[in-house]
Amino acid sequence: MLAGRQSWLFRNRPVILATGVTGGPFEAAGALPNDFDVLHDDIWLGQTSFEKAEKKLLEEACEKAIHKAGLKKDDIHFFFSGDLMNQIISSSFTARTLGIPYFGLFGACSSSMESLSLAAFVVNAGGARFALAATSSHNGAVNKQYRYPTEYGAQLPPTAQWTVTGAGAALLAAEGPGPRVTMATIGRIVDMGISDPFNMGAAMAPAAVDTIESHFRDFQLDASYYDLIATGDLGKVGHAIAGDLLQKHGLAIPGEKFTDCGLLIYKDDQPVMAGASGCACSAVVTYGHLLNRLRRGELRRILVVATGALLSPLSYQQKESIPCIAHAVAIEREDG
């Protein structure tokens, strides 16, 4: 099971039985509208606050995944979820609705792969027959908590990123048809001293590189094993830095194989500055777009490296630098 220093090999190859992917109007106008299960035309989702809207997105994603797998909530043994709100309220309130035994996680935008790797570990070890891994974010709620409320009208620098409004959930099972979770590498904190919350991509890039390097070392693999290696939400700035760092470390990944979820989800003409970010970014792109490509056979093996910036509004105001992390999960076709 344990592979190398910080990785897990899942010998029983847990299956992603079904996924649920929800989004808002800005995502509907983006580059991947067909990869969502549910798209809303109102960022409020008929709720009275952005936080309640985010919880609704997460509930819907989870319910969609359970429904698509032909299961009921009671069939799911454990629910692993994290989000960006203070005290991870979106996840906990969703767990209240679902009534499934729950692990609340905080990995900021790395929550998608943190929850998926833990759920896979539990299912692989026989700790559950069915486990649900999910995460969510909401642009309005995140701007309010971490940056400035939109109405305040603060200028954004070109390195800023656009938080995805959406949620993604993956239902893992011990057996069944679907893509397999085969490996995971758990990241350690990397902090290069960047303290600008409007340049998260640059702050997180070294963490992504550290985890990719560890993954290759622990499994004695190189980039040729994968058809695609996708980081979570580095955006244009972070993606370029990560590419350069990998090259410096002698691990250059060919351009067509190396992408970032934050560069895939929106169209070029959408005003997202350096790209997308948020917990939902890697979740919706992986559970929607990338798994669909895997199912269609366009890809056989992918490595998703979800990146997280573990700052709080308070730590940033107190001029602390931003600790960053990245978790990598390998997903392969069942015949791969």
Partner 1 sequence: MEKFILAFLVGGAICMLGQLLMDVFRLTPAHMTVSLVVAGAVLGGLGLYEPLIKFAGAGASVPISSFGNSLVSGALAEAERNGIVGVLTGIFEVTSAGISSAIIFGFIASLLFKPKG
Q: Contact positions toward partner 1, by CB under 8 A?
A: 43-44, 50, 139-140, 143, 148-152, 154-155, 157, 165, 196
Q: Is 126 left (phi over 0), alpha (psi -120 to 50) or beta?
A: left
Provide the minimum distance between the beta carbon of 312 and partner 1 in the complex, in angstroms, as a whole number.
16
Phi, psi of 21 (to 5 degrees): -135, 120
Locus of tokens 């943190």:
114
Token pair recorded at residue 230: 């996708």
Nearer to partner 1, 154 or 252 (CB): 154
Provide the minimum distance between the beta carbon of 283 and partner 1 in the complex, in angstroms, as a whole number.
19
Nearer to partner 1, 151 or 335 (CB): 151
Nearer to partner 1, 54 or 218 (CB): 54
Nearer to partner 1, 140 or 166 (CB): 140
CB distance 161 to 205 below 8 Å: no
CB distance 330 to 214 below 8 Å: no
Nearer to partner 1, 42 or 244 (CB): 42
CA distance 31 to 269: 10
CA angle 302, 305, 309 (to 5 degrees): 165
Provide the minimum distance between the beta carbon of 90 and partner 1 in the complex, in angstroms, as a whole number.
16
Provide the minimum distance between the beta carbon of 43 and partner 1 in the complex, in angstroms, as a whole number.
5
- Tell me which amino acid residue 78 is: F
Q: Output the CA torsion sign for 113, 115, 120, 122.
A: positive
Provide the minimum distance between the beta carbon of 168 and partner 1 in the complex, in angstroms, as a whole number.
20
